[in-house]
Amino acid sequence: MTNAHPVGPPAKRDSGRAEIVEAAARCFMHKGFDKTTIDDIAHELNATKGRVYHRFRAKNEIFFAVYRQAMQFCFDAVDPIIGLSLPAREKLLRMAEAHAMVMMEHLPYQRSIKQGVEIYLTGATTEAERRVLAELVGMRDRYEERFRKTLRDGELDGTLGAPDVAISGRAILAALNGLTDWYRPRSHETQADRQMIARKLAFTVVDGVACRPYTA
């Protein structure tokens, strides 16, 4: 995968750009990032390639926009919980539930970035692409730090007892992100149905770090 065009900073959002990113996420999910073409994205939009190229110079730029939006959905869901005055365990439960809801309600984005990053990490990229990917990975790391901080807070208030904060944080997010592998929307599924799945999964992963003695 190569592209001679430089990859610039994220452009200001507009409805046309957002529609392209949404369509691309669906295409990446159904066809795979590597096999999706600009033609596919234009067809999903019921538009011409010119409409896509008007806002994006290449497919990799669209992928980076999908990645940014996927992460922004996560920040928007979890950040309001961070400031709540709650015991750390309850806060972590709510954060896990919110994250799980994002995985289900924005499934095309979340599944797309998982497969796309693997391709970028193993394939050829330009220096500009590597800089943008490093920026996006940094965005992901800042998000994950919210979970690690809550785990540390739980050690202080006695509601959580992770044997290793870094490992526990990765394990929790890996379990939640695993929704993109096994979750399939069902006909007539409601938001309440998804909320129940998210709640059950949140309790499953957080109870693994509930405060109790740890023996090696």
**Burial bucket for residue 50 (CB in 10 Å: 0-12, 13-18, 19+):** exposed
Cβ 176 vs Cβ 205: under 8 Å: yes
Does 77 fall in a domain?
yes
Residue 84 CB partners (closer than 8 Å, separation 6+): 91, 94
Cβ 41 vs Cβ 62: under 8 Å: yes
- Total number of domains constituting the chain: 1
Task: Report the distance separating Cα 96 and Cα 199, nearest Å.
Answer: 8
Does 4 fall in a domain?
no
Task: Report the distance separating Cα 140 and Cα 152, nearest Å.
Answer: 19
What is the model's pLDDT at position 151?
96
Q: What is the DSSP letter of 160?
A: B
CA angle 213, 155, 177 (to 5 degrees): 95
What is the model's pLDDT at position 118?
66
Separation in Å, CA 194 to CA 15, 103, 147: 27, 10, 22
Does 6 fall in a domain?
no
What is the model's pLDDT at position 207?
84
What is the model's pLDDT at position 212?
55
Alpha-helix runs per DSSP H in the chain:
15-31, 38-45, 49-53, 59-82, 88-105, 107-122, 127-157, 165-177, 179-182, 191-206
Does 108 fall in a domain?
yes
Does 9 fall in a domain?
no
User: Can you give the CATH number for the domain in which 201 is found?
Assistant: 1.10.357.10
Instruction: Read off the pTM.
Output: 0.84
- For residue 134, give both structure tokens: 């490093």
What is the model's pLDDT at position 6?
41
- For residue 149, give both structure tokens: 């901080």
116 C-beta neighbours (distance < 10 Å), count: 22
203 C-beta neighbours (distance < 10 Å), count: 14
Does 149 fall in a domain?
yes
Does 3 fall in a domain?
no
Task: Report the distance separating Cα 121 and Cα 119, nearest Å.
Answer: 6
Q: pLDDT, tens digit, for every residue of 118-166? A: 666 666 578 888 888 888 889 999 999 999 999 999 999 999 988 899 9
Q: In the chain, which residues have pLDDT < 70?
A: 1-14, 116-124, 208-216
Range of the domain at 188: 15-208
What is the model's pLDDT at position 119?
63
Task: Report the distance separating Cα 216 and Cα 214, nearest Å.
Answer: 7
What is the model's pLDDT at position 7?
42
